[in-house]
Amino acid sequence: MFGESEATGKSASIKEIILKYLAHFPLFIISLMVCLGAGILYVRYTAPKFKATTLILVKGSQGSQGGSKDIIGTALTGQLQGNLNNELIALRGRSLMTRVVSKNGFNISYYYQGDILKTDIYNDAPFRFIPQSIVDSNNTFSVVIRSLDSQGGTVEYGTKKDLKKVAFRWNEPITATGMTFILAKHADQFNKSSEYIVDWKPVWMTTNELASNTSVAILSEKTSIISIELLTENLKRGKDVLNSLVYEYNLADIEDRNIITQNTIRFIDDRLGIVSGELNGVESSMQNFQGSEDIVDIGTQQGQAFGNSNAASQGLQGLYVQQSVAKMITSYFTNPDNGDKLVPSTMGLNDPTLGALIGQYNQLEAQRQKEAAFTTKNSITLKDLNNQIDDVKSSILEALQNVNKNLRLQESSLQQQNNQYRQFLTSVPRKTRAMQDIKRKQSITEGLYLYLLQKREESAITSTSANVSNYKQIDPASGYGPVEPNASNIYMYSGLLGILLPLGFVFLRDMLNDRISSRDDITKRVPTPVLGDIGHAKTKVAGLVVSGRDIISEQFRIIRTNLALLKNKNKQVILVTSSASGEGKSFISTNLAGVLAIPGKRVALLEFDLRKPGILKDLQVNPDIKGITNFLKGQTDDLSDLYMTLEDTPTLHIYPSGPIPANPGDLLISERVAEFFERLKEQYDYIVVDTAPLGLVSDAFMLGEFSDISIFVVRQRVTLKKQVDFLSDIFKTKKLINIGVILNDVKTGGKYGYYGYGGGYGYENYKEMKKNRKKYSIT
């Protein structure tokens, strides 16, 4: 068996990669010349473009910070509340550019027609194109002006197939393709040979063109300056467009601020009327509330009510004391035990009648007590005194009743007054809160009214200075260029493209290549050794070519050496096959047998491709002779009748296939095959078997049981990668043993030649090799 396979998956060296691409050096030269030529033509015949630029200072913006905190003040002064991004969007807007184009007539372009280029001359044209009426404003219009003089010239319009020429005079209407226009003279001298082109485009179309070529950006994060750049074919035209753009932007800002100011004044007047009515309503509510609640000064009234309530409470306390005294006196008189006793004083009762009656009672009681000491109980004097006392006592009780009644009336009156005072005091918080609410609303309404009056005066003052914009153009637009086409960049990119295109072509071709290109394509797919490589020849090479010292001969000798270095002991029978026809299987078999026979070894070359034999054909020998099929059919047993030899290599015996049989497969399974190989092994040192491709028929598998080594021929750029994958399956299933691979027709390097080996070792003998092919003689 073979030893371990060579290392697989090696990446190509830098030299190999370079040589692979250098092999297409003419393609690189052609691509580079074409791309550079295209770049030169583009630079030569492309109209140059310039860049116009200007700067705008945004005075009302402080980065992303807001302006005034006063809403109406902000509305009046127009201070910006957003950031600079809002300004960028506004400057990029189509509406602003439409305004610029329509006002300045930038949709009319003047060109000078040179030999090849058409140059934008803007206002340097010796005339002006003035449209009068337009039938279809959505279509472009173009005329050619020729043969100009002081009187007029010629106008050409229409298509090349239907070209119309009209003579015109200055400042007279001209009608062409649905448009009426006037050409006004703008110069005193004319070149009759000059040709001018006037293009009229719809405003929206020119707007889109200018907007697409305009870039707006913030100059720096630390400033509120906006940079505007315009790419244009005419620098003067570009400057005018930018200056007009800034002017219209300032004018639009002033108009907006004037509208805002007018709307603000109108709004303030409307609000003043509403607020004035609300203020009158609040004041009426205050008046009605004070009238309905009897409020003059709620603080003073609250103090008086509190004092009166305290006084009424004290009066009630005194009345309660007097009622108690009256009750005590009444109880004293109604108590029988106190009939002969003096009555205490009135004890604070403020009734003079009661006090006089009690005093009279006490006098009579004292007199009775004095008389009782000197008279009898039934004396007339004592009886008279008793009667007087009883009368006074009755008067006292009646007076006490009147006092009690009077005290109750006073109590009721004071209690009612006290309740009124307390009720007023209880209602004071509610009335105070209601008063505060009314006063607060009155204060707010008055403040708003005064604020609106102030802002109305401010708006009147602001309206006088509304013609100052929030934006300022720092300097008039300037320009430089041309910036396009950038010749150095175009030449550089053209050169790179000229190199990248063939690089990409070669790389893509390799990526899409499904055929074997190198050893790596084999070793990555099947773990078998590559015994050697056979280089590519510029002309077709066939037959035996190993007798000389050319590079192919040396390569076959290397393969012979590699076979000798194999570890397996038996190397006598070598089976040579491939995946399909046309891969050089017969050529490899013939020359492998020849290089084995050169040292004097006896070698048998068997043309066992019984279906399509090719060895004799390559040797330019008539194939209609006896051969292997005759032996297998039993038509002969003498092997010496079957082979032929070459004059230069007598030890090489070539066994032709013989007549092509109708059933090659049946012959290969006959017992005569084994007998044939046994007899050959006894006579020869090596037996090289050229068999049919195993990718098409099974002949190679049938002969595999008689072989010691199986060689699979792979042809570069011909054998498919999937066919090598098929060989991997054969290796794994061991349908053939000791498999080795020979890579045939190898083409590498920067030019066609043989594979490696010092850049053409032995190449000087290539012609000699071709001559040797003519010297083959069959014996």
Q: Give the 3-state secondary structure of 47-82.
A: CCEEEEEEEEEECCCECCECCCCCHHHHHHHCCCCC
Name the pTM for this structure: 0.52
Determine the 3-state secondary structure of 498 from DSSP.
Answer: helix
Sign of CA dihedral 580, 581, 582, 587: positive
Cβ-based neighbours of 74, under 8 Å, separated by 6 or more: 67, 68, 81
Please report where in the chains the tokens 């891969």 appear, as a residue. 583
- Average the pLDDT over each of 167-171, 248-252, 755-759 and give the range with the smallest value: 755-759
Q: Which of 249, 211, 263, 247 is nearest to 86 (CA)?
A: 249
pLDDT in tens, 254-293: 888 788 777 777 888 887 788 778 778 777 776 676 666 6
Q: Which of 210, 203, 246, 245 is nearest to 230 (CA)?
A: 210
Q: CA-to-CA distance for 239 and 54, rounded, in angstroms?
A: 8
* Cβ pair 583, 715 in contact under 8 A: yes
Greatest mean pLDDT among 36-40, 222-226, 399-403, 692-696 = 36-40
Determine the 3-state secondary structure of 417 from DSSP.
Answer: helix
Give me the pLDDT at residue 603, please. Answer: 96
First and final C-alpha spacing in the chain: 37
Higher pLDDT, 97 or 440: 97
Q: What is the dihedral of CA 423, 426, 427, 431, to 10 degrees?
A: 150
Please report where in the chains the tokens 């007798």 appear, as a residue. 547
Helix (H) or strand (E) holding 480: strand 478-484
When pLDDT is averaged across residues 644-671 and rounded to a whole number, the result is 89
- DSSP one-letter code for 715: E
Give me the pLDDT at residue 407, please. Answer: 74
- DSSP one-letter code for 144: E
Helix (H) or strand (E) holding 543: none
Q: What percent of the chain has pLDDT over 70?
A: 80
Q: Is the peptide bond before 202 cis (omega within 30 degrees of 0)?
A: no
Task: Centre a 10 Å sphere on the Cβ of residue 351 and count the other Cβ atoms it contains.
Answer: 18
For residue 767, pLDDT beyond 50: no
Q: Where are the domains of the chain?
A: 14-46+485-512, 108-200, 298-425, 529-773
Our measurement of the distance from residue 50's CA atom to the centroid of its chain's CA atoms, rounded to an integer in Å, reads: 31
Superfamily name with CATH number, domain 529-773: P-loop containing nucleotide triphosphate hydrolases (3.40.50.300)
Determine the 3-state secondary structure of 644 from DSSP.
Answer: strand
- Average the pLDDT over each of 129-133, 510-514, 630-634, 763-767 and give the range with the smallest value: 763-767
Report the length, in residues, of the chain.
779
Q: What are phi and psi of 693, to 5 degrees?
A: -60, 130
- DSSP one-letter code for 404: H
* Cβ pair 5, 479 in contact under 8 A: no
Q: CA-to-CA distance for 314 and 452, rounded, in angstroms?
A: 56
For residue 682, pLDDT beyond 60: yes
When pLDDT is averaged across residues 451-468 and rounded to a whole number, the result is 72
Give the confidence band of 173 by pLDDT, cuts at 50, 70, 90. very high
pLDDT in tens, 588-612: 999 999 999 999 999 999 999 888 8
Give me the pLDDT at residue 24, please. Answer: 84
